[in-house]
Amino acid sequence: MRHVLCPVCVFLLFVNCLQADVPAIELKGHTEHVHTAVFSSDGTKILTAGEDGARIWDAQSGRELKRLAHTSWSLNCADFSPDGTKVVTASWDQTARIWNAESGEELKRLREHTNPVHSALFSLDGKRIITAGRDKTARIWDAESGKELQILEGHERWIVFAAFSPDGKKVVTASWDSTARIWSTDSGKVLQTLEGHASDLHFAAFSPDGKKVITASSDRTARIWDADSGKELRKLTGHTNVVLSASFSPDGKTIVTAGTDNTARIWDAESGKELHKLTYTSQVRFAAFSPDGKKIVTANRDRTARIWDLSGIME
């Protein structure tokens, strides 16, 4: 039977995971690969970004609410401000942009990078933004004025992801030079270099308490590190191809990873044991928990994002 598409091309599909009975809502409407998908801090909305721009969705119904009219350039990353009123996007056009999440109006354009910008995230208090780019720099900006505050330099290859610590006093960066680095936001100096991965890094982030860092790499592993000493604590092995993202749950007890082996995997953060595998039909580019830790949203290479309900498997 031939399907007739609605004008906004939004599909809401309740499906089952191929690995286990995990109900999911599929967000369908993007016309190109989706690189990032995250929940708003109140869990009511989802932000997706990919090669055809950014979109905001209702997390309950799966309905598309807003499209952000970037340019024809691909978006690599997007993030909600903590209060949900703004969005920041990172683009191949060498800019990051701040948007009004309600109206879709562009508010500020952050222009100082000299190569594509791979990531852009707000600090937990919403006052600053950290960007990472192919010019081998991470840059800290004032979220209100758009003024550049600090440049972090030292990586030997592209910086592909950067994130603040929960208290905003540190930044962690992930680079294709196979290292992650932890920086002081006051001095701009490197505090720790996390070495051990055998290939490019794609992601790095702090745990909710700021005591640990998680990294994801082309070497098919994610790794947990002590944020103060830089010591490797755990290696998460199981993915059979590149691991593109790795994020802690809000309570810090579990981790979700996303990989090009068509899976997202859930791990015990203390033991490093794999708890569950969500198998998909396409590369999983990004995965993140909902604020209550009961759901996961994934960004997928097949032009979709998907919300997975974990209530039946994480009890």
| Alpha-carbon gap, residue 128 to 144, rounded angstroms | 8
> Would residue 27 count as lying in a domain?
yes
Of 13-22, 128-137, 216-225, the least confident: 13-22
Q: Are strands 45-50 and 263-268 parallel, antiparallel or unpaired?
A: unpaired
Convert 14-46 to b/e letters by CB count within 10 Å (16 or more is b).
eeebeeeebebbbbbbbeebbbbbbbbbebebb
Q: Are 69 and 85 in contact (CB under 8 A)?
A: no
Give this prediction's pTM.
0.91
> Would residue 282 count as lying in a domain?
yes
Give residue 1's pLDDT band: very low, low, confident or very high (50, 70, 90): very low
| Amino acid 287: pLDDT | 98
Return the closest-CA partner of residue 262 out of 211, 206, 205, 300. Answer: 300
> Would residue 248 count as lying in a domain?
yes
Q: What is the pLDDT of residues 175-216, one digit of tens each?
A: 999 999 999 999 999 999 999 999 999 999 999 999 999 999
Please indicate whether residue 52 or residue 12 has the higher confidence score (pLDDT).
52
Give residue 221's pLDDT band: very low, low, confident or very high (50, 70, 90): very high
Q: Are 219 and 227 in contact (CB under 8 A)?
A: no
> Would residue 123 count as lying in a domain?
yes
> Would residue 305 count as lying in a domain?
yes
| Amino acid 314: pLDDT | 66
Domain that holds residue 72: 11-309
| Alpha-carbon gap, residue 179 to 204, rounded angstroms | 10
| Amino acid 24: pLDDT | 84
Question: Measured on CA atoms in the order 200, 205, 206, 207, is the torsion positive or negative?
Answer: negative
Using the predicted structure, report yes or no on whether residue 3 has a pLDDT greater than 50. no
> Would residue 3 count as lying in a domain?
no
Using the predicted structure, report yes or no on whether residue 148 has a pLDDT greater than 60. yes
Q: What is the pLDDT of residues 4-33, one digit of tens each?
A: 333 333 333 333 333 445 768 999 999 999
> Would residue 101 count as lying in a domain?
yes
Give residue 48's pLDDT band: very low, low, confident or very high (50, 70, 90): very high
| Amino acid 313: pLDDT | 73
> Quick one: DSSP state of residue 41?
T
Q: Are 19 and 278 in contact (CB under 8 A)?
A: yes
- CATH number at 198 reads 2.130.10.10
| Amino acid 260: pLDDT | 97
> Would residue 57 count as lying in a domain?
yes
Q: How many domains, in total, are found in the chain?
A: 1
| Amino acid 23: pLDDT | 65
Contacts of 1 (CB under 8 A, 6+ apart): none
